[in-house]
Amino acid sequence: MCLDSSPASASDAQTRFVNSYQSGDTYSGEWKNNTRHGEGTMIWVELGQRYIGKWEHGVQHGLGKHIWILKNISGTHYFQSPHYMGDFFKGQRHGQGSFYYAGGAIYRGGWKNNTKHGQGKFTTKDGRKLEVEFVDDKMLTARSTDGLPVLESDLSVVGDDMALNLESLLEKVPERNRRTELKHVESVVSLHRSELRIIYGFYSRLGRSPDYSLLMSRLQLWRLLKDCSIHAHELPLTRIDFFIKGEASGEEIHSPFTTVHLRELLSCLVVVAYCIYHKDMMSQRHLLASCFSKLITDNILPNARKVKGFLFRQPGFAVEAVKYTERCWEVFEAFCRVYVSHRDDRIMTFRHLMLMFKHLHLLDDQLTFMRLVKIITAARADPPCVELEITFLEFFEVLVGCAKVKCLQVSETLEEDQVLLGLTIKSAENLPEEETDEAKGHSQLTGNVETGEMKSQDEQIPPFAEHEVRQHEEDVHKNRTKTQTHLLLQLQMFLEHHFFPAVAHYHRVTEKMEEVLLKEAQNSKGL
């Protein structure tokens, strides 16, 4: 969270300084040895956060106040921005501190590594006083000071950046029930808050270097939704884009670079859950919470972080491949205007995608029409309708898949390529390949059925000598690195030597044709 950047003019002696970063973030306070040190205020504009308090060697350390700035949204009953006041240790909430939730609840007590930990006191939204004990953000005990039973609704809180915006969805609920319905949705969020944070952080880092920590982008959101097979419920990802529209313009709604905050992701998932399951859950007392709980338990938790598709499955390859997304997004936008010129938003269908490959003359003996169709349908159980709208992620992953077919021979020999990629001519013709049990993380089990004692086959094989194991691990790492490098070379060759030149040629021909038509029109008027 703390941006390790400092003004070039800051001296080694402790001094006060105001610095504005290129991102728009600002720091005002004391500096020492070119880092934030002492009293200071940091404002993260994009993250919507502010910290006021002590710093040490560039990170929050000592007493401070961290605020998550939220807008008060009508219908959600949030009347304050959530904030923490208390001890920080090396950039984390650690020690004693108080957290003031957006809905009005307050926790005062122990903290450890950014989580509630130890004894504390909890004041509910309705003012009830509870004595509580937490371990790693999970509540172990809760006892009310008034002697009355502790209800589940008393413990329903949504903290810091997890506050929901369900204004449009709550309109489907009778007004008298909206507050209760929202509380039950928040209870589902609280129940799975740790897992949801882990999932958000995991997808936020896809295609980025390991130390890169920023907000999730729509490109990464689409990957999460596809991994969880949300699109299989006849709910196009392009429609889901509108669930988190916010203040985005028509062009930004479908942009892969638009950021998605954690609270926006959660709000989006609640709406998705309602769209998918509301007909099946009509008999449930709390409809929104029931739908959301089903989505979390049936779709999100079992499937999230099992990355599919051509782009993100190889981390090293993905980091380099996403560097082409800006240029490819420009192409995507351009052909959206060609095929759907009457719409402001950037939408393309599978039919448009196939037309683009035809108009760019990219199909040949290697990349045939049928192979293109197989690449397009690689991640789908059923063949998609040609008029189905697609996101930029699906567009870009088709380009990656085509690169594997069209640029198979980027090494010295075809045989070397086949060894590196684990492909044969037959497998290239039958994309996508089925995953083996080993690739899926499964192991074959054998053992005594009567006793239930099971052992994996690996356990029954005598262990390797230590140096052999080390050598094997090194070989695996080298092969993985070599494979990722090879995949990147394929993508680079396809984009730089085939795709981008074809796009440039198409635009030149189109411009010349427009000039000819314009001259003919002018000549006809002159006659």
**pLDDT value, residue 5:** 40
The CATH number of the domain holding residue 290 is: 1.10.238
Domain range spanning residue 109? Answer: 70-161
Closest C-alpha to 269, from 295, 247, 250: 295
* CA–CA gap between residue 408 and residue 40 (Å, rounded): 55
pLDDT of residue 150: 67
- Quick one: 55 and 81 in the same domain? no
DSSP 257: T
| Alpha helices (runs of H) in 377-499, residue ranges in sequence order | 392-406, 414-421, 425-429, 457-460, 466-494
Best CA proximity match to 66, nearest among 87, 38, 95: 87
504 and 391 part of one domain: yes
136 and 15 assigned to the same domain: no
DSSP for 429-458, written as a single string: HTPSPPPPTTTTT---EEEETTTTEEEEHH
Q: Based on the fold, state whether residues 301 and 339 are members of the same structural domain.
A: no
* Residue 41 maps to a domain: yes
pLDDT in the model for residue 399: 95
3-state secondary structure of 52: strand
Same-domain status, 273 and 334 = no
pLDDT at 248: 62
Domain boundary among 65, 88, 116: 65
Same domain, 115 and 245: no
Domains of the chain: total = 4
Q: What is the pLDDT of residues 325-368, one digit of tens each?
A: 999 999 999 998 888 766 556 788 889 999 999 999 999 999 99
b/e for 328-366, b at 16 or more Cβ within 10 A?
Answer: bbebbbebbeebbeeeebbbbbbebbbbbbebbebbeee
Instruction: Find tokens 């402001």 and name the residue.
Output: 344
In a domain, 184, yes or no: no
Q: Considering 308, 343, 363, which residue would you say is the last residue of a domain?
A: 308
Residues 224 and 208 in one domain: yes
Measure the CA–CA gap between 143 and 149, rounded to whole angstroms.
Answer: 8
Tell whether 145 is covered by a domain. yes
- Within this chain, do residues 81 and 136 fall inside the same structural domain, yes or no? yes
Structural contact between residues 341 and 230, judged by C-beta atoms closer than 8 angstroms? no
| 317 occurs within a structural domain | no
Residue 22 lies in a domain: yes
Closest by CA position to 130, among listed 100, 101, 108: 108
Residue 361 is classified by DSSP as: T
pLDDT value at position 240?
A: 86
- Look at residue 465 in the predicted model and tell me its pLDDT: 54
Residues 241 and 225 in one domain: yes
Q: What are the structure tokens assigned to 38, written together?
A: 């002492």
Q: Does 467 map to a domain? A: no
Neighbours of 26 (CB within 10 A): 15
Model's pTM, two decimal places? 0.62
The residue ranges of the chain whose pLDDT is under 50 are 1-12, 72-78, 158-160, 211-213, 411-464
Shared domain check, 345 and 218:
no
Residue 172 domain-assigned?
no
Residue 524 lies inside a defined structural domain of this protein: no
| Domain end residue (candidates: 28, 43, 65) | 65
Q: Is the dihedral of CA 326, 329, 334, 337 positive or negative?
A: negative
- Is residue 302 located within the same domain as residue 339? no
Same structural domain for residues 199 and 303? yes
Q: What is the pLDDT of residue 33?
A: 85
